Structure 1
Amino acid sequence: MRRRYARELALQVLYQMDVGKSSSEKAMEYISEQCDEQNVIDFSASLVQGTVENMSKIDNIISAHLTSWKLNSIAAVDRNLMRLATYELYYCEDIPSSVSINEALELAKIFSGEKSSKFINGILDAIKKDFEVEN
């Protein structure tokens, strides 16, 4: 399975829903239009669905780790990358936390930039540490 591609699609869908205010149905159609590999579609859709269903808790977790920022003032790509990775950290037990963070950083380098990847890394690392203490 091409999980990085599935995460990329999930990020694009979350971005569409966040910035473009697309409905979840319309945004999910995008995944099927972009890919014909069912396992990629299924993984991407599960990431989007899980992130959206847990958005309030995920946003609270991220916000608790932002010292000088408000979540809505962060670039939309960065915000949605952190949402996606935080979903994986908290809800996808089969994915090692280091993989979730690394994948988010790689996507940040593609879609956002080097400075953003450092910022995202700091936030996600703090979230990971707190999650490990809680569990």
Structure 2
Amino acid sequence: MGRKQAREGTMKLLYQMSVNEDFSDEALDVYFTEYTFDESEKEYILDAINQIKQNVDSIDNYIEKHLEGWNIHRIAKVDLAVLRIAVYEIIYRKDIPVQVSINEAIETVKRYSTEESFKFINGVLGGLVRSINKE
């Protein structure tokens, strides 16, 4: 299926890790034994999870700077997982166009989160991109 499948797999894994408070390699191994991905999808998921784990404070800082009237701890775990993936792509993956990252994040929350979440995600990511473009 490609990168869309990989993004959704990454979101589900991040969500699971967050709910279980288990970001271990063992949790990653269990996930890959339970779900099947092709090699390019698995490569994306591994890179995304490792980069997000290594840079979670920086990624969360980017998110927090663009929350208006919100605290990062109040964000639904699905929405936070989607935001972390989008920020990872925007900041660390120059091979993925920013607009693609934003559009995919919006489509993912439309499928997996509340009816209004896509507006919230769009606002946070739009603010992030505007601030990056100013720098």
Give me the TM-score of the superposition, normalised by structure 2. 0.93
- 1:55 aligned onto 2:56: yes
- 1:16 aligned onto 2:16: yes
Instruction: Show CA shifts across 1:86-109 (max 9, x none).
Output: 111111000000000011111101
Q: Which has the higher contact order (CA 8 A, sep 6+)?
A: 2
| 1:103 partner letter | E
Tell me which residue corresponds to 1:3.
3
Compute the RMSD of aligned alpha carbons: 1.3
> What is the correspondence of 1:86-101 to structure 2 with a 5 Å cutoff?
86-101=87-102
Which range moves more in the overlay, 36-45 or 92-101?
36-45
> What is the correspondence of 1:18-97 to structure 2 with a 5 Å cutoff?
18-29=18-29, 30-97=31-98
Asked if structure 2 preserves the Cα contact closer than 8 Å seen for 1:9 and 1:31, the reply is no
Match of 1:68, SS state, is: coil
Match of 1:89, SS state, is: helix
Instruction: Show CA shifts across 1:60-116 (max 9, x none).
Output: 111111121100111111111111101111110000000000111111011103300
How far has the Cα of 1:25 moved from its partner? 1.3
Match of 1:60, SS state, is: helix
Asked if structure 2 preserves the Cα contact closer than 8 Å seen for 1:31 and 1:44, the reply is no
Distance in 1 of aligned mates of 2:59 and 2:74: 16
C-alpha spacing 1:101/1:27, structure 2 compared with 1 (3 Å)? farther
C-alpha spacing 1:36/1:65, structure 2 compared with 1 (3 Å)? closer
Give me the TM-score of the superposition, normalised by structure 1. 0.93
| 1:31 partner letter | F
| 1:130 partner letter | S
| 5+ long unaligned stretches in structure 2 | none
| 2:101 partner letter | S
Match of 2:116, SS state, is: helix
How far has the Cα of 1:17 moved from its partner? 1.6
